[in-house]
C-alpha cells in the first residue's frame, strides 16, 4: 500500500515538473520575441525646403450681392400678367408683373376729363380778368380748380404705373412666389432679384491685423461648392471702427463673378495677400503628425554603425499651400524627415528609405 502511494506521488511530481519546464521554455521564447529589436521600417522621406511664400491673413466670410432685394408690389391688385421665369436674367426696367388696372384706367380718364374742363374755365377767366369781366376771387377759384385737377390726374397716373412692377436693376431672378390671377395685398413678395456680378465678400480680421490691410489688396477665396477653384478679388472697403465686442474689424472685398458661379449667402474661406514675400521652411503635409499634445515630425539621422533611425521632434506649423505646410519652429533647412509611413514609428526606431514606394501614411512597411 505504501509503495503504491509513493509511486503515485512520484508520477504526479514528474508530471508537474514537466508542465513547469514547458511553461518556463514558453516564457523564455515570448520574452525573447518581446526584447528582440524591431526590424527596420520602410519609409519614404522628404527634405525640409526653404521657399518664398507670400504672407496672407486668413478669415472666413459670407458672400453678398452688390444689390439684392425682394421684389414687392406697392399697391394691391389681381395678377394679370407674369413676365418672367424663375431663375431668369433680366435687365433694368424689364416688366416683371402687371396687376389688373382697368378700374384705375377708367378713373384716370374721368379725371383727365375733369382736368380739361377745369383748364377751359381757367383760361376763360384768365382772358376776362384784364377786362374786369370776372372778379379776382372767381379767377383764383378757377385757377385752384385747374391745379387740383392736374394733381388728381398725376396721382392717378402714379397709381396706374404702380400696377406695373419692373426690375429696378439688372440681375438674376429667384423662384417665383405668385401665380396668374392671384390677389396680391400691398407688400407681397413676388420674387428675389440679385445682381451677381460683381459680388461682395464680407469678413472680419483681428484688430491687431488692421495695419496690414488696405484698399486694393488682392484677396483669394474658396467656397465649398467649388473646392478646387480659386476666385480672385480685391479689398474695396474697411470699416470705420473696431467692433468692441469681438475686437475685430470688418473688411469688404469685391469679387468678379462673370460666370455666375458664386451666389449670395455662400460661406467663403478668404485669404488677404500681403505685399511682400517672406522665406519659410516647408515640408509635405503628410510629414506632420497632428494631435492634441502638439504636432511633431520624425527626423532621419544616421547611427554610428552607418544605419538610419528616426527621432521624434516637436514642431510648430503655419500656413498650408498646395500640399506643403510651413514649419515655424522645430526643423532646419536641409534636414530629412519621414513623409510617409510614420504612424507606427517609435522614437529611435531603425528605418530604411525607399522613396519609390507609395506608402499609406497609416501603415508602416516592415522587412
List per-residue pLDDT tens for the chain, 367 residues long.
666 656 555 566 656 666 566 666 666 666 555 555 567 778 788 888 888 877 778 889 899 988 888 899 888 888 888 888 888 888 888 889 888 887 878 888 888 888 888 888 878 787 777 777 667 878 778 888 888 888 988 888 888 888 888 898 888 898 998 888 889 898 889 899 988 888 999 999 888 888 888 888 889 888 888 888 889 999 988 888 888 888 888 999 999 988 888 888 889 988 888 877 778 888 888 888 887 778 888 888 887 777 888 888 888 887 777 788 888 888 888 888 888 876 777 888 877 777 775 555 444 443 3
- The answer to whether position 220 is within a domain reads yes
Report pLDDT for 248: 87
- The answer to whether position 11 is within a domain reads no
- The answer to whether position 173 is within a domain reads no
Report pLDDT for 199: 92
Same domain assignment for residues 141 and 284: no
Task: Give CA–CA dist 72/178, Å, rounded.
Answer: 11
Report the candidate in 302, 308, 287 with the shortest Cα–Cα distance to residue 351. Answer: 308
Whole-model pTM above 0.85? no
Report pLDDT for 366: 38
CATH code, domain carrying 154: 1.10.287.470
pLDDT in tens, 105-139: 888 888 888 888 888 887 878 777 777 766 787 87
Burial 45-67 (b: 16+ CB within 10 A, else e): bbebeeeebebbbebebebbbbe
Same domain assignment for residues 286 and 345: yes
Containing domain of residue 337, as a range? 41-53+278-366
Give the alpha-carbon dihedral of 85, 91, 93, 95, to 10 degrees: -20
Helix 136-161 × helix 102-128 angle, to 10° = 160
CATH code, domain carrying 238: 2.40.30.170
Same domain assignment for residues 215 and 145: no
Same domain assignment for residues 61 and 206: yes
Q: How many domains does the chain have?
A: 3
Task: Name the domain boundary from 162, 179, 214.
Answer: 162
- The answer to whether position 137 is within a domain reads yes
Task: Name the domain boundary from 162, 181, 215.
Answer: 162
Report pLDDT for 363: 44
Same domain assignment for residues 266 and 214: yes
Dump strand ranges (E) for 189-347: 189-206, 218-223, 226-238, 248-255, 267-273, 278-284, 295-302, 308-321, 324-329, 336-340
- The answer to whether position 89 is within a domain reads no
CATH code, domain carrying 48: 2.40.420.20
Count of beta carbons in the 10 Å neighbourhood of residue 10: 10
Task: Name the domain boundary from 243, 273, 303.
Answer: 273
- The answer to whether position 4 is within a domain reads no
Contact call for residues 250 and 204 (beta carbons, < 8 A): yes
Same domain assignment for residues 291 and 359: yes
Amino acid at each position: 500500500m505504501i509503495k503504491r502511494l509513493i509511486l503515485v506521488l512520484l508520477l504526479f511530481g514528474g508530471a508537474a515538473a514537466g508542465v513547469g519546464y514547458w511553461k518556463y521554455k514558453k516564457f523564455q521564447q515570448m520574452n525573447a520575441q518581446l526584447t528582440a529589436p524591431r526590424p527596420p521600417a520602410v519609409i519614404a522621406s522628404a527634405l525640409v525646403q526653404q521657399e518664398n511664400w507670400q504672407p496672407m491673413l486668413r478669415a472666413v466670410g459670407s458672400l453678398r450681392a452688390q444689390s439684392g432685394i425682394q421684389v414687392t408690389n406697392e399697391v394691391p391688385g389681381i395678377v394679370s400678367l407674369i413676365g418672367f421665369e424663375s431663375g431668369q436674367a433680366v435687365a433694368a426696367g424689364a416688366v416683371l408683373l402687371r396687376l389688373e388696372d382697368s378700374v384705375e384706367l377708367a378713373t384716370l380718364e374721368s379725371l383727365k376729363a375733369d382736368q380739361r374742363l377745369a383748364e377751359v374755365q381757367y383760361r376763360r377767366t384768365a382772358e376776362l380778368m384784364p377786362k374786369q369781366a370776372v372778379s379776382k376771387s372767381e379767377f383764383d377759384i378757377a385757377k385752384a380748380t385747374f391745379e387740383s385737377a392736374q394733381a388728381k390726374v398725376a396721382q392717378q397716373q402714379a397709381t396706374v404705373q404702380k400696377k406695373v412692377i419692373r426690375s429696378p436693376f439688372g440681375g438674376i431672378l429667384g423662384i417665383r412666389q405668385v401665380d396668374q390671377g392671384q390677389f396680391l395685398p400691398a407688400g407681397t413678395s413676388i420674387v428675389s432679384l440679385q445682381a451677381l456680378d460683381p459680388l461682395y465678400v464680407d469678413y472680419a480680421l483681428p484688430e491687431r491685423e488692421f495695419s496690414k490691410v488696405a484698399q486694393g489688396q488682392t484677396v483669394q477665396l474658396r467656397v465649398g461648392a467649388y473646392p478646387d477653384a480659386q476666385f480672385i478679388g480685391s479689398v474695396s472697403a474697411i470699416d470705420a471702427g473696431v467692433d468692441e465686442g469681438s475686437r475685430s474689424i470688418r473688411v469688404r472685398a469685391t469679387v468678379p463673378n462673370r460666370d455666375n458661379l458664386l451666389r449670395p449667402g455662400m460661406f467663403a474661406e478668404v485669404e488677404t495677400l500681403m505685399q511682400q514675400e517672406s522665406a519659410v521652411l516647408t515640408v509635405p503635409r503628410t510629414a506632420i503628425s497632428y494631435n492634441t499634445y502638439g504636432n511633431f515630425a520624425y527626423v532621419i539621422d544616421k547611427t554610428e554603425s552607418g544605419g538610419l533611425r528616426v527621432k521624434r521632434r516637436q514642431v510648430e506649423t503655419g500656413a498650408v499651400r498646395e500640399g506643403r505646410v510651413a514649419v515655424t519652429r522645430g526643423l532646419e533647412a536641409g534636414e530629412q524627415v519621414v513623409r510617409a509611413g510614420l504612424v507606427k514609428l517609435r522614437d529611435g526606431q531603425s528605418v530604411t528609405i525607399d522613396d519609390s514606394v507609395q506608402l499609406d501614411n497609416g501603415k508602416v512597411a516592415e522587412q
